[in-house]
Chain A
């Protein structure tokens, strides 16, 4: 059971917009910790997609955007493309163990 809750899967047709939710609690996202998002293709390392809730690292298309409110965060992908099909994870920190990272269970995005 992951500390952060994500839907196991989402899907959308090319060109559409999809969102992936990430629900936390008062000991992590609700405590004010930032949420980061990662994209992972099979057999490869996670890649930082969104940092500090809303920031895109260099090279990440502006089709990807993030938001955070209260104990939850969301990742939105607009203009869906076939190459966006991947697993997406949210990550934050938790007060339970000092310095600990907590992850969502991951969401499989399927481009129809």
Chain B
């Protein structure tokens, strides 16, 4: 069965620090999708990224970057020059099918960015 582990329960940083959120996954499938979602204090779930298992290229979007390594079954998320608005719970998720459906979520990492 698929499993997602986010070992960091909570991380606190000072504004402008870089921070990496770890995600390790388990699956027997060769085709799968990985996701990151952000849940700000308001409670909604905000989609950040979706990655296909065949695409191991790192991705950068502004201050966000993602490092996908199949060899270590990891899909880590780095925020560069963190800001207070980045304070949220971040979830990593893995699809249970080959199309990106039926997501299995990690327990989440609480990120607190202090000014």
Are these two chains actual partners, yes or no?
Answer: no
Residues of chain A whose beta carbon lies under 8 Å from any beta carbon of chain B: none
